Structure 1
Amino acid sequence: MNRLVKTALLAGAAWGALSASAVAQQASTEPQASNVDDVIVTARRREETLKDVPISVSALGAERLEETGATDITALQQQTPNATVQIARGSNSTLISFIRGIGQQDPLWGFEPGVGLYIDDVYVARPQGAVLDIFDIERIEVLRGPQGSLYGRNTVGGAIKYVTSRLDADSPELTLRGAYGSYNQIDLMAQGSMPVTDKLRIGAAIASYDRDGYGENLNTGAEHYDKDVLAGRVSVEFQPYDNAFFRLAYDRVEDKSNPRHGHREVAGVGPGAGVPGSVYDTYAGLGDRNKVTTEGVSLTAQVDLNDVWSFKSITAYRTGDTDTLIDFDNTPAPTLDVPAIYGDHQFTQEFQALFSTDRIQGVAGLFYLDGTASGAFDTIAQNFGIVIGTAGYVKTTSIALFTDVNLDLTDRLHLGLGARYTMDDKTGHVFRANYLGAARSPLLGGAARNPILLRTDYTRSNTFDQFTPKASLSYDFSDRLTGYASYSKGFKSGGFDMRGDAILTPNTVNGYQPEMVDSYEIGLKGSAFDRRLSFSSAIFYNDYTDQQVTTQVPAVGGIASFVDNVGSSKFFGAEFEGSVVLTDSLTANVAIGYLDSKFEEFLRYNLTTQKYEDISSQVVLQNAPKWTGYLGLTWRGDVAGGSLAVTPSVSYRDDYSQFEFPNPVLDQDAFALVDLSAVWTDPSRTWTVGVYGKNLTDEEYRVGGYNFAGAAYNNSLIGYYGPPRTVTASLQYKF
C-alpha cells in the first residue's frame, strides 16, 4: 500500500508535467497555475514574487488552506516537503517543528527551537501555545533551510511565518463562521473590521474550538484528546499619510483541553497497566487538569522616506503560562508522574532600513531580545519512594546586526549577499533535589519538607556569539524561469540543561555550546507552457556540527538527562513543488521531499565509565523520514448558481524514528492520509459551505512517544497519536 502511494505521488508529478506539455500550444488566455509567478512573499523582509526568492519557500494562501480544510498550522506537514509540524506529546497546543530533519522536540524552558516561528514578523521564542489555529490569515510561509542572516535566531532548520490579514480600508467587513463535525466538534469564529476615519481602521477576530475527546481516560472517565481553545485578535491600523503606516495588534490563546497522557504500547504490572483497546485511551491517574495561556502585543511602524529608503520598526512583548500534567506510566499508580508549570516572557525590538534602486535592493537592521523562561516539574517515582523536584530559569539577552542585499549584476544575473552577527548573554539557574515520599514536592505546592539529597544547585552565565553569512547567485533563464545556487550558515545558541543532574553528569553545570549548520543548495523555479505549469525545486546538502540532542534514560535513583553537543551529521535531499492546470476545471498540486540523513559522530556519556563514547552506528536522526509527498487534485466548476471546489488529496510520510535511538515499539512505519473536501461559494461570495473529510482511511499513526522501559518504571513505553477519521461541515457568511 505505502509503496503504491509513493509511486502514485512520483507518477503524479510526472503526469502533471506531461499533461501541461500536451497543452503547451494552447493560448495564454487559458487557466494558469497560481504559484511562483504570482504569489507575493516576504521571505527576504521585502515583498517579492516567489520565483525571485533564491531559497526554498512554500507559501500557502488563505484560499488553498480553506479548500484543503486546514484548521491549524500542523496542516503544513501534509503539504510541505521535508517538514514535520506536529502537536507535542502530552499537549494540545505545544508545537514541535522539524524542517529537513533539523528542529527540536523538547519543549522544556531554556531549550530553544531549531525552527523559528513568526507571527507578523514577531519572533515567538517558546513552543507552548504555538499550534496556531488558522483564522484571520492571509498566508503561511515555510522557509526551508538555515535562515542565518535575516532571521538568525534559532532558525538552523528554517522558519514558519504566520501572516495575518490587513484590514479593509474602504468599508466595514464581517465574517461569521460555524462548523460542526465528528466527536461533537463545534467551531465558531467571528471576524470584522471597520474604518473609523479615512486614516484609522479597527478590527477584531475571536474563535472558539471545542471537541470531545477521541478517547477516554478509563481510570477517571475524563475526555482524552479533546479540544477546548479560545483565541482572539484585536488590531488598529493608522495611516496618517500615504507614506506612513502603523499597526497595533494584540492576540491571546487560552487552551483548557485536558492533558494528553498518551497510550501504553506494552503491558506493565498491576491494575490499569494493560494496553487499552483504543490508541486514544489511557489509564492515567495523575489528573485531567491542564491550562495554557499565551498572549502578545506588537506595534509595527513603517515610513517610506523617499523612493529609495523605508524605515520599519517592530516592537513586541509576549508572555505565556502553562500548568500541565503528564502521566508517563499511564497507570493509576504514581509510577512516573510529572506535573509541571512553565512561565515565560519576552520583549523584542527590531529596526529595519529597507532600500531599493534600479540595481540594488536590500535591508539592514538591528534585533534585540530580552526574555526569561522558567518553570518547575516533579518526577514522582513511587517505586523509589521519592519525588525528584526540578526548577530553574534561563534569562537571555540577545542582540544582532544583520543585512541582506540583492545586486542585479545584469538584467538576468543577480547576486545576493547577507550576514548577521549575533551575541547572546544567558544566565541559567538549575535546582534538582530528591524529596522523601511519592507525592508533589514543595516546588509544586506539596507538603513542606527538606530535600533528602541535593542533586543540582547552580547559577551560571555564558556568552555565545556567531557570524552567519549567506550568499546566492541566481540567473533568469527567461522571464519565467530562474535558477539559483546558495550557501547559508545557521546558528542555534548554547545554554543550560534544565533537567541536568550534577551527581550523575557533573559536566552539566558547564552547559552546552551552540550548534551550527552549513547549507548548500541549488534550485530551479518558475513556470512553463503558458504558465499552466508552475514549480519550485531544489537539491541541498547540510553539514550539521556540534548538534544539540536531548536524551533521558533511567538511572539508579532517578532519571539522567543529557543535553549534549553530540557531534555531527550530514543531510542530502531534494524537493519539488508544483501546480499544473490539467484542464480548464482541474488543477493538480504536488509536493515531494527526499531526505538522506546520517550521524557522522554521536558522543554519548556513559554513566558507568563516566566517559564519552562515539555510538554513531547505533543512532539515527529523529523526525527525518526519507520520503514525504503530497498530491491534491482540485476541480472547480459552476454548481447550483455558485462556484464549487472539490479537492481529494493524499499525503505520505515514510518510516521515521521518534528519537535518536530506534525503538520498534515506538517508531512509526510509513503511512498515507487521504482527505476530501468540497467548498461551495455563492456568486456574490457572501455564503460559503464546506464539507471536509480528514484521514478517511482511519490510519493510526504516532506523532510522539516516551521510552522508559524497565521494571523501575513499569516498562512505560508511551505513544501519542494523530487524529482519527473526522468529517466536518462548515457554514460561513461574509459581507
Structure 2
Amino acid sequence: MKKLAKTALLAGAAWSALGTIAFAQDAAPTQDPSAVDDIIVTARRRDESLKDVPIAVSVLGQERLDETGATDITVIQQQTPNATVQVARGSNSTLISFIRGVGQQDPLWGFEPGVGLYVDDVYIARPQGAVLDVYDVSRIEVLRGPQGSLYGRNTVGGAVKYVTNGLSDEPELTVRGSYGSYNQIDLLAAGSMPLSDTFRVGAAIASYDRDGYGTNLNTGAEHYDKDVLAGRASAEWEPIDSLSIRLAYDRVEDKSNPRHGHREVAGATPGSGIPGSVYDTNAGIGDDNSVMSQGLAATVQLDMNDNWTFKSITAWREGETDTVIDFDNTPAPTLDIPAFYADDQLTQEFQFLFDYDGAQGLFGIFYLEGHAEGAFDTIVGNPFFPVASQFVIGTAGYVDTTSFAVFGDVNFDLTDRLHLSLGGRYTVDEKTGHVFRANYATATRSPLTGGTSRAPTLQRTNYTNTREFSEFTPRIAVNYDLTDDLTTYASFSRGFKSGGFDMRGDAILTPDTVNGYDPETVDSYEIGLKGALDRLSFSSAVFWNKYQDQQVTTQVPAVGGIASFVDNVGSSTFFGAEFEGRLRILDNLDANFSVGYLESEFEEFLRYNLTLGVYEDISNQVVLQNAPKWTGYLGVTYRADMAGGQLAVTPSVSYRDDYSQFEFPNPVLDQQAYSLVDLSIVWTDSSDRWLVGLYGKNLTDEEYRIGAYNFAGATFDNSLIGYYGPPQTVTATVQYRF
C-alpha cells in the first residue's frame, strides 16, 4: 500500500505536467477560479496575487477545506509539501509545527516555536491552545522558509496564517451539525448583522465532542477523547470611507482528558505490559486536564491618500493549562508529571503601506511584551526501588520577554517584467528567566504543584538571569515574469529564533545552564517557478538551507534525576524541492497534488558528556527530527449536477516517508513510511444554502505515531511511549446558510 501510494503521488505530478502539454495542443484556455494568478494572499502583509509573490506559499481556501472535511489546522500537513503540523504528544490542543525540517516540539514555557502562527496578522506566541479548529475561516496560508523580514523572530521554518471571515453587509447565519464515529458530535453557529450602514457585528461558536479512541485501562476513563468549546466575536466600523476599525475576541476551552500515550515495550512493574490497542493506556496519574486560551485584537486601517495606508494591530492574549502526563504509562508513579502553565502577551504593530507605479511595500514597527510561567514535578517512584530511593524533582520558573523590531519590505518594478524585492528587520529581545529545581523526599507532589509542604532535600537550580539578543534578518528576491501567466524568482532570506533559558536546567549536572542559550539562524536560498498553463496552475521551488547555532532539547537519565540540555548544538544543512498545484483534467474533474523532497544532515552536533564534563561532536550519530525525505498528496475531485445542486466526490491519498521522532534514532519509536486514504462526498444546492457531506478519514485504518517519549532504563521502567494519529473515522455533516 505504501509503495503504491508513493508511486501514485509521483505519477500524479508527472501526469499533471504531461497533461498540460496535451491540453495545450487540443484545448482552448479556460478561466480556472483556482488558478494561481487568481488567488489573493497576504504573505507579504498586503493583498497580492499568489503568482506575484516570490515566496513558497500553499493556500487552502474555504471551499477546499469544506470539500475535504478539514476539522482543524493540522489538515495542512497532508496537503502541504515538507510540512509537519500535528497535535503535540500528551495533548489535545497544543500545536507542534515543522516546515522543511525546521521547528520546535517542546511546548514548555520559555521555549518558542520555530514556525510562527498568526490569526488575522496577530502573532500567537505559545503553542498551547493553538490547534485551531476550522470554523469561520476564509483560508489558511502556509509560508515555507524563513520569514524573518516581515514576520520576525521565531519564523525560522516559516509561518502559518489563519485568516478568518470578514463580516457581511447583509444579515447572515450559518448553522452546522456533524455526527460521526466514536459518537462525534460537532455543532457550529456563525452569523453577522449590520446594525447600520457603517457598523456590523458578528459571532461564531463551536462545540466539539467525541468519545475516546481508546480507554485508560487503569481508571476506566476515555482516552483520546475531545471536549472543546470555541467562540469568536467581532465588530467592524467604518465611520468614514477611508477608515475601518475591527475588534475581535476569541476563546477556546479544552477539557479533553490528557493523552498519556501507549507503552511500546513492556516494563517490569505491575501494569507495564503493552496494551492491545495503540490508543489504550494504563496510566495512573489521573485524567484531569484543562486548557484555556483567549485573546482580544483591534485592527485600525486608515487610507491617508491614494498612495499611503496606515495600519495598527493591537492584541492581547493569555492562556492557562493544568495537566498531567504519565511518562511510564503504568499505575505506579514511576515517572509521573503533574504540571501547569500560564502565559500572557501584549503586542502592538504599526504598518505604513504604500503603492506607487514603480514601487510597492511597507515599513513597520513591532513591540511584544510577554510573560510565561509554570511548574511541574517529575515523580520518580519505581516500586522496585527502596522507598528511601523514591523522590520527586520539582521545577518552576518564569520568562519575561520584551521584543522590539523595525522592518520594511519594498518591491521595485525595474521593468514591466523584472521586479526586485528588498526587505529587512532588526530585532532586539530582552529576556529575564528564573529557574528553580530541587529534589523533595517521597514520591508525591512537591509544594510547587500543590503537594505537601516540605523543604527540599537538595536544591539543584535557583537562579535569575537577564540576556539581550539582537539580529538583522534581510531578504532579497528577484522575480521575472516569463509571460503574463508564468513567474520565476530567486531569493535569499534569513530567519532567527531568539535565545533563552532552559526551564528544566540542572545546575548541578550542567553548570552552564545558568548562562542560557544563544539564538539560532537559518539562511535560505531558493529559486521557484509558479503560474498557470492552460488547465494547470502550479507552484514549484528548489531550496538550500544553512541552519546554524541550532537549539536542540534533549533529556537523559542521570544519577539523581534527569539531565536536561538546551544547547546550541552546531549546524545542519537542508536541500529540497517542492511541486504543488491543480490540474483541470476535464471540465468536471480536477486533481490537486503536492510533492515535497527533503535531504538533511547535521554537520556538527555538540553534546555535553556528563561523565567527562566536556562537549563532544556526535554528528555521525544523529539525524534531523520530523524531516521525512518524501511527502506527497494527490486528491481528485469529480463534480456533477445532481438534485438541484452539485455533487463533489474527492478521493485522496497523502504520503509521508520514514522519519525520526528525535535527533537520536530509535527503531521502537521512529515512524515508518505510511499513507492516509480519505474520501469525501459533498452536495451543495444551487443557492449555496445547503451543504450535506460525508467524510471518511484514514479509511485503511493506518496506525501511525505522531509523537513519542524515550526514557529507557531500569530507573524509569524502560518507558518508551508512543502517541498516535486518529484511526479510521466517518463523519456526516449538514449545514444551512440563512
Q: How far apart, CA to CA, are the structure 2 residues paired with 1:31 and 1:688?
A: 25
User: Which residue is equivalent to 1:731?
Assistant: 734
Q: How far, CA to CA, are the matches of 2:26 and 2:120 in structure 1?
A: 40
Distance 1:381 1:314 in 2: 47
Secondary structure of the structure 1 residue equivalent to 2:15: helix
Q: Distance in 1 between matches of 2:438 and 2:122?
A: 37
**Alignment check: 8 A CA contact 2:526 2:543 kept:** yes
Amino acid at match of 1:244: L
Q: Deviations over 1:222-250 (max 9, x none)?
A: 00000000000000000111111110000
Find the partner of 1:625 among 625, 628, 640. Answer: 628
* CA displacement at 1:25 relative to structure 2: 4.1
User: Following TM superposition, by how much is the alpha carbon of 1:256 offset from its aligned partner in structure 2, in angstroms?
Assistant: 0.2
Contact 1:394 1:427 in 2 (8 A): yes
RMSD: 0.8
SS of equivalent residue, structure 2 residue 24: coil
**Are 1:222 and 2:245 matched, yes or no?**
no
- Give CA-to-partner distance per residue, 1:65-107, whole Å, 9 cap, x none: 1101110000000000000000000000000000000000000
Q: How many residues align?
A: 732
Q: What is the CA–CA distance in structure 2 between the aligned matches of 1:30 and 1:540, rounded to whole Å?
A: 32
Give the Cα separation in 1 of the matches to 2:48 and 2:256: 40
Which residue of structure 1 lines up, in the alignment, with residue 471 of structure 2?
A: 466
Alpha-carbon contact 2:633-2:654 (below 8 Å) kept: yes
Which region of structure 1 is more displaced relative to structure 2, 315-324 or 639-648?
A: 639-648
Q: d(CA) in 1 for partners of 2:530 and 2:685?
A: 35
Q: Structure 2 CA distance, aligned partners of 1:2 and 1:605?
A: 39
Aligned-partner Cα distance in 1 for 2:30–2:542: 32
Name 1:279's counterpart in structure 2.
278
* AA partner of residue 485 (structure 2): R
Alignment correspondent of 1:292: 291
Which ranges of structure 1 fall in alignment gaps of 5 or more residues? none
Q: Structure 1 counterpart of 2:495, which letter?
A: G
Could you state the TM-score of these two structures normalised by the residue count of structure 1? 0.99
Which secondary structure state, in structure 1, belongs to the residue aligned with residue 726 of structure 2?
coil
1:525 alignment partner in structure 2: 530
Determine the structure 1 residue equivalent to 2:193: 194
What pairs with 1:436-451 in structure 2 (closer than 5 Å)? 436-451=441-456
Report the 3-state secondary structure (helix = DSSP H, G, I; strand = E; otherwise coil) of the residue aligned with 1:37: helix
Query: d(CA) in 1 for partners of 2:419 and 2:269?
Result: 68
- Find the aligned partners of 1:237 and 1:345 in 2 and give their Cα distance: 25
User: Counterparts of 2:483 and 2:687 in 1: how far apart (Å)?
Assistant: 39
Quick one: distance in 1 between partners of 2:275 and 2:33?
48
Q: Which residue of 1 aligns with 2:705?
A: 702
Moved more, 273-282 or 26-35: 26-35
The 1-side partners of 2:730 and 2:343 are apart by 37
Structure 2 residue 79 is the aligned partner of structure 1 residue 79: yes
Give me the whole-angstrom Cα distance separating, in 1, the residues matched to 2:304 and 2:549. Answer: 44
Which stretches in structure 2 are left out of the alignment for 5+ residues? 383-388
SS in 2 for 1:620: coil
Deviations 1:689-722 (A, max 9, x none): 0000000000000000000000110000000000
- Residue 196 of structure 2 aligns with an amino acid whose one-letter code is T
Query: 1:223-372 maps to which residues of 2 (within 5 A)?
Result: 223-372=222-371
Q: Partners of 1:148 and 1:173 in 2: how far apart?
A: 39
- 1:385-434 CA deviation, whole Å, 9 max, x = no partner? 11000000000000000000000000000000000000000000000000
Identity among equivalent pairs (%): 74
Question: Does 2:11 align with 1:11?
Answer: yes
SS in structure 1 of the partner of residue 448 of structure 2? helix
What is the distance in 2 between the residues matched to 1:672 and 1:77? 12
The match for 1:722 is 725
SS in 2 for 1:8: helix
Q: Relative to structure 1, is the Cα distance of residues 207 and 165 closer, same or farther in structure 2, using a 3 angstrom cutoff?
A: same
Is 1:566 matched up with 2:565?
no
Q: Which amino acid in structure 2 is aligned with residue 285 of structure 1?
A: G
Within 5 A, what are the aligned runs for 1:156-235?
Answer: 156-169=156-169, 171-235=170-234
Deviations 1:644-679 (CA, angstroms, capped at 9, x unpaired): 111000000000000000000000000000000011
Contact 1:33 1:579 in 2 (8 A): no
Give the distance between the partners of 1:358 and 1:27, measured in 2 at CA.
36
* 1:478 alignment partner, SS class: coil
1:61 equivalent to 2:66? Answer no
Partner of 2:440: 435
TM-score, scaled relative to structure 2: 0.99
Match of 1:144 in 2: 144
Structure 1 position 633, deviation (Å): 0.2
After the TM superposition, list the runs of 4 or more consecutive aligned residues in structure 1 that deviate by more than 3 angstroms: 25-31
> Paired residue for 2:426?
421
Are residues 27 and 305 of structure 1, via their aligned partners in 2, closer, same or farther at CA, if it must alter by over 3 Å? farther
Q: Aligned partners of 2:35 and 2:500: how far apart in 1?
A: 40
In structure 2, which of residues 380, 393, 397 is the aligned counterpart of residue 392 of structure 1?
Answer: 397
**What corresponds to 2:115 in structure 1?**
115
Deviates more, 1:71-80 or 1:632-641: 632-641
Per-residue deviation, 1:14? 1.2
Separation (CA, whole Å) in 2 of partners of 1:13 and 1:593: 11
Q: Distance in 2 between matches of 1:187 and 1:441?
A: 39
CA shift for structure 1 position 4:
2.3
Correspondence for 1:36: 36
Q: CA deviation at 1:19?
A: 2.1
- Matched residue SS, 1:236: strand
| 2:645 counterpart of 1:646 | no
Letter in 1 for 2:342: G
Specify the SS of the correspondent of 1:6.
helix
Equivalent position of 1:602 in the other structure: 605
Q: Is the 8 A contact 1:688 1:733 kept in 2?
A: yes
Distance 1:324 1:464 in 2: 32
Q: Which amino acid aligns with 1:129?
A: G
Q: For residue 35 of structure 1, report the CA deviation from its aligned partner.
A: 3.3
**Equivalent position of 2:493 in the other structure:** 488
Is residue 672 of structure 2 the alignment partner of residue 673 of structure 1?
no
* Counterpart check, 1:402 vs 2:401: no
2: CA distance, partners of 1:69 / 1:639: 20
Q: How far did residue 30 of structure 1 move?
A: 3.8
* Partner amino acid, structure 1, of 2:203: A
Distance 2:194 2:570 in 1: 56
Q: 1:353 to 1:601 in 2, by over 3 A?
A: same
Contact preservation (8 Å) 1:35, 1:50: no
Partner of 1:589: 592
Give the Cα separation in 1 of the matches to 2:35 and 2:58.
Answer: 10
Equivalent-residue separation in structure 1 for 2:469 and 2:30 (angstroms): 55
Are residues 1:475 and 2:480 paired? yes
8 Å Cα contact 2:35-2:536 kept in structure 1: no
**Cα displacement string for residues 451-483 of structure 1 (whole angstroms, at most 9, x for unaligned residues):** 000000000000000011100000000000000
d(CA) in 1 for partners of 2:28 and 2:474? 41
Q: What is residue 555 of structure 1 aligned with on the other side?
A: 558
